Amino acid sequence: MAISKKVAFYTLGCKLNFSETSTIARNVSKEGFERVDFSEPADLYVINTCSVTENADKRFKTIVKQALKTNNQAFVAAVGCYAQLKPKELAAVDGVDLVLGATEKFNITNYIDDLTKNEQGNIYSCEIEEADFYVGSYAVGDRTRAFLKVQDGCDYKCTYCTIPLARGISRSDTLSNVLKNAKEISEKGIKEIVLTGVNIGDYGKGEFGNKKHKHTFFELVQALDKVKGIERLRISSIEPNLLKIETINFVAQSNCFVPHFHIPLQSGSDELLKLMKRRYLTNLYVDRVHKIKQTIPHACIGVDVIVGFPGETEELFLETYNFLNELPISYLHVFTYSERENTEATLMKNPVNKSVRIKRSKMLRGLSVKKRYAFYESQIGTERSVLFESENKEGYIHGFTENYVKVKALWNPGLINTLHKVKLLKIEDDGVVGIEFCETKEPPKKVSVRDIFKRDNTLNIKHT
């Protein structure tokens, strides 16, 4: 392959996808490709797909068109979850040349002889049972935080979910490799690491190619806390039944792990939780949330919830709404149920009208705004540590406290990727918290008014 060839990547979906895109990109770069932004002309465009929601499926065609508009002779490859689930559907999209499944995506250059466009996309997709090995990944996107993959696949059989069909069985990275990757990240000057996976609380299963746990998630947390050079460690989404009390207690006294938990709920109705085949009921969820708040009062707690699941009557929806309203949580990620092929839920009785799903989704999103505001308000007047990011948004730089309060200050490039102790002053009109610096010394170098409105061109990863 010619050294002058350029490659661009686009990632849909979760933090796990972003970590894997970075690994694929590093592998492609080793073969002589120069990585460029997706908006720039490239010889090869790689789209890492997602199939968690219907919208992610629909966006794929738009992204392909965007690539070909930039270079109509570019070679377009699709990888990821949607590519595994619907390879023929993707291969039939006009302009797609290559579709790679779950096991093939990490070796993309093995499937490219040249970059001549094909009349129809070629498919190389395994049976999902063959996705039984682990590939470690991490993403470093904006010089501020990194997404570190520790686990892949899922053995749960939730009736609405296609992830086990797209990613295979639950399996884990070895503890030694996770620690090696964490050390590499810290040596790059990255201040925060976010642990990612499909079901990270299941960490340890398949660590050495079998179902037995060599290590537990708690042991992973303990080991990572000892890695030198890491300022912050953040746990991404973790199932409530796998979030153990010992982990909560450890985070409470850790110097590195931040007081932020994201715990999927999906429904506040035990009746619906059983139909979803979740592995807990609401009483366990309540126990975990209250334990966190009792142990770490200032902790931020995010919640995933699905609306419009088959059989969700008005009474059951209100049960979920009231359940969430009474819990001391901080924000919601609301997902409107959409039928996914080859899942049990598509065969269930009493589907909810789509207009009703949309209405209920709006109600829960409104509740999320209320919950986030109340949480932010509870933090006003406190002193927190902020890690500033790299984007200039209308003359302001933004960052997050350890407990995930979004704050802003006047744009100053000297603040990028730095930690500062601040006092949270007030919630601004845009819903972000204004601050004052608590350090006795001046914040990093002053900049001119002209610089305040100059946009920073540093590459940023979009989080979903």
pLDDT at residue 28 is higher than 50:
yes
Confidence of residue 302 (pLDDT cuts 50, 70, 90): very high
Confidence of residue 458 (pLDDT cuts 50, 70, 90): very low
User: Above pLDDT 90, what percent of the chain?
Assistant: 67
Lowest mean pLDDT among 53-67, 91-105, 296-310: 53-67
The model's pLDDT over 148-191, given as tens digits with 9 standing for 90+, comes to 999 999 999 999 999 888 888 999 999 999 999 999 999 999 99
The per-residue DSSP string of 80-125 comes to: EHHHHH-HHHHHTSTT--EEE-TTTGGGGGGG-S--PPPSS-EEE-
Q: Where in the chain is the domain with CATH 2.40.50?
A: 383-452
Q: Where in the chain is the domain with CATH 3.40.50.12160?
A: 6-126
Residues 6+ positions from 448 with CB-CB distance below 8 Å? none
The CATH architecture assigned to 132-258 reads 2-Layer Sandwich (3.30)
State residue 372 phi and psi, 5-degree precision: -65, -40
The CATH architecture assigned to 6-126 reads 3-Layer(aba) Sandwich (3.40)
Q: How far apart are CA 103 and CA 126, in angstroms?
A: 7
Q: Where in the chain is the domain with CATH 3.30.750.210?
A: 132-258
The model's pLDDT over 12-25, given as tens digits with 9 standing for 90+, comes to 878 888 888 988 99
| Residue type for position 399 | G
The model's pLDDT over 394-449, given as tens digits with 9 standing for 90+, comes to 899 999 999 999 999 999 999 999 999 999 999 998 899 999 999 644 455 554 43
State residue 429 phi and psi, 5-degree precision: -60, -30
| Residue type for position 262 | H
Contact between 23 and 61 (Cβ < 8 Å): no
Between these two residues, 110 and 103, which has the higher pLDDT value?
Answer: 110
| The CATH fold of domain 383-452 | OB fold (Dihydrolipoamide Acetyltransferase, E2P) (2.40.50)
